[in-house]
């Protein structure tokens, strides 16, 4: 294991750090985090829709979802250029850069004009168009970044700053909209379809059993070596948000959801947090080791609500006893969960229930639209995780108990020596 750790720390960790600290990755990562509140708000109408099954007379709150989670593509295309200009210390241009992103995004939609007005496909504003919004947002941000130092006026100009700002944005706005116009109207390219074609191999692999296992394996292995799974969020959340939006559309049209790796899939195998450490927290609570017992008391309540960083960094990270169970959990739990849905034993997630801090069984029930079979999957995975963790935890516990005994022995010998010295 030391050889694996050395290889990861020497070769992979520097690459991951370089990627996560890179200019554009941080911009896109921030954009993904900005949309989380809108995703959480959409949870309310999702809960409400379950109540409406029992009380049909209740009003339909679906529009709250449509104009929160259903517009995250629009929000992302604003945030990426905006954040770029803020990072370039040109906050006076940032707002206009964001507006330009919205304009270019809607231009590429190639809206249809009919007698009643102009028609936009509203699904393209949401998670279904998020990859496209990231692409267009990047293009607009890149143009603005290239033009960020350009100004029609000198520093000593007497023209008011807000007027200078109007003119200094003209070229960036024009080039951004021109790029969208050329792609959409001159070359007749459907930008949304083009991005879908480019992303389809990645999305296809992510929806396969090997893809799901590989993604979960990488997240967990890096977490074992102290690198939080959050570094993968910009990639994984983009895929899963788009997938659950497609699932919701399929169900709304009278069909069934087909994207297994949709948002919330982790609720079935990240039980108590990433690495499925809830059983580990309970084991530590009754441990013979003083260290583990204290950690168990401190982490049991947070673990129930999927907060496990103190537990992982205090017990699992770089602990040779825990490497094998981390590998097994990374393969068995996601793989079993995937097959559970592939065989039709549960309902694939189609409700965007973004309340990850709630116990997993609740999320499983809500995201499936109220299917108790998904709750059963969570319970089975708890049993599997317990069986995997137990023998390795007991080995680690035995090691810690031995260390405790040695420390007590050393303390006793020091105390005896001190007492003897006083008597002499």
Residues 294, 240 share a domain: yes
Least Cα distance to 279 among 255, 263, 260, 296 occurs for 296
Give 180-221 pLDDT, tens digit per residue. 999 999 999 999 999 989 988 988 999 999 999 999 999 998
Over residues 225-233, mean pLDDT? 78
Confidence bin at 421 (pLDDT 50/70/90): low
Residues 180, 281 share a domain: no
372, part of any domain? yes
Residues 332, 244 share a domain: yes
Residues 264, 244 share a domain: yes
419, part of any domain? no
420, part of any domain? no
Give the count of domains, the chain: 2
Q: 112 - beta bridge partners?
A: 119
Residues 226, 154 share a domain: no
Q: Is the pLDDT of residue 319 over 80?
A: yes
Residues 257, 391 share a domain: yes
Q: Are 322 and 276 in contact (CB under 8 A)?
A: no
- Of 200, 222, 250, the domain-final residue: 200
Residues 339, 262 share a domain: yes
Least Cα distance to 224 among 73, 147, 327 occurs for 327
Over residues 402-420, mean pLDDT? 73
Confidence bin at 92 (pLDDT 50/70/90): confident
25, part of any domain? yes
Residues 231, 185 share a domain: no
Residues 213, 165 share a domain: no
Give 106-137 pLDDT, tens digit per residue. 999 998 888 888 889 888 898 878 889 999 99
187, part of any domain? yes
Residues 66, 1 share a domain: yes
Q: 77 - beta bridge partners?
A: none
Q: Is the pLDDT of residue 161 over 90?
A: no
Q: Which domain holds residue 52?
A: 1-200
423, part of any domain? no
* Cβ atoms within 10 Å of 199's Cβ, excluding its own: 17
The percentage of the chain sitting over the pLDDT mark of 90, rounded to a whole number, equals: 49
**Token output for 354:** 């973004």
53, part of any domain? yes
Name the burial class of residue 205, with classes exposed (0-12), middle (13-18) and buried (19+) by CB atoms within 10 angstroms of its CB.
Answer: middle
Residues 403, 310 share a domain: yes
Residues 122, 6 share a domain: yes
Give the residue ranges of DSSP H helices in 253-308.
Answer: 278-285, 290-304
Q: What is the pLDDT of residue 8?
A: 67
* Cβ atoms within 10 Å of 357's Cβ, excluding its own: 10
Mean pLDDT of the chain: 88
């Amino acid at each position: 294991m030391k050889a694996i750790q050395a290889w990861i720390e020497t070769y992979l960790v520097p690459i991951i750090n370089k990627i996560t600290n890179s200019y554009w990755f941080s911009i896109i990562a921030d954009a993904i985090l900005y949309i989380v509140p809108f995703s959480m708000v959409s949870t309310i109408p999702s809960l409400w829709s379950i109540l409406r099954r029992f009380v049909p007379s209740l009003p339909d709150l679906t529009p709250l979802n449509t104009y929160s989670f259903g517009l995250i593509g629009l929000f992302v295309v604003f945030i990426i250029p905006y954040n770029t200009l803020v990072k370039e210390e040109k906050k006076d241009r940032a707002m206009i850069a964001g507006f330009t992103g919205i304009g270019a995004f809607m231009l590429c939609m190639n809206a249809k004009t009919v007698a009643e007005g102009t028609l936009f496909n509203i699904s393209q504003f949401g998670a279904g168009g998020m990859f496209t919004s990231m692409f267009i947002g990047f293009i607009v941000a890149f143009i603005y970044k290239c033009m960020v130092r350009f100004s029609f006026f000198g520093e000593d100009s007497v023209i008011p700053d807000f007027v200078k700002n109007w003119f200094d944005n003209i070229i960036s706005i024009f080039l951004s909209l021109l790029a969208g116009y050329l792609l959409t109207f001159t070359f007749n390219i459907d930008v949304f379809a083009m991005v879908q074609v480019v992303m389809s191999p990645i999305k296809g692999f992510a929806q396969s059993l090997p893809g799901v296992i590989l993604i979960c394996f990488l997240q967990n292995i890096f977490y074992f070596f102290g690198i939080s799974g959050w570094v993968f969020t910009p990639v994984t959340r983009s895929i899963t948000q788009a997938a659950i939006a497609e699932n919701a559309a399929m169900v709304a049209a009278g069909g069934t959801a087909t994207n297994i790796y949709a948002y919330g899939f982790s609720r079935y195998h990240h039980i108590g947090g990433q690495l499925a450490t809830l059983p580990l927290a309970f084991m530590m609570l009754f441990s013979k080791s003083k260290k583990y017992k204290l950690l168990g008391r401190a982490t049991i309540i947070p673990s129930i609500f999927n907060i496990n960083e103190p537990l992982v960094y205090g017990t699992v990270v770089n602990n040779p006893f825990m490497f094998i169970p981390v590998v097994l959990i990374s393969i068995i739990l996601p793989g079993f969960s995937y097959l559970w849905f592939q065989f039709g034993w549960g309902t694939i997630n189609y409700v965007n229930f973004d309340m990850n801090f709630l116990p997993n069984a609740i999320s499983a029930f809500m995201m499936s639209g109220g299917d108790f079979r998904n709750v059963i999957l969570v319970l089975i995975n708890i049993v599997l995780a317990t069986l995997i963790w137990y023998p390795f935890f007991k080995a680690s516990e035995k090691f810690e108990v031995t260390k405790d005994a040695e420390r007590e022995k050393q303390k006793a010998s020091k105390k005896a020596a001190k007492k003897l010295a006083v008597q002499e």
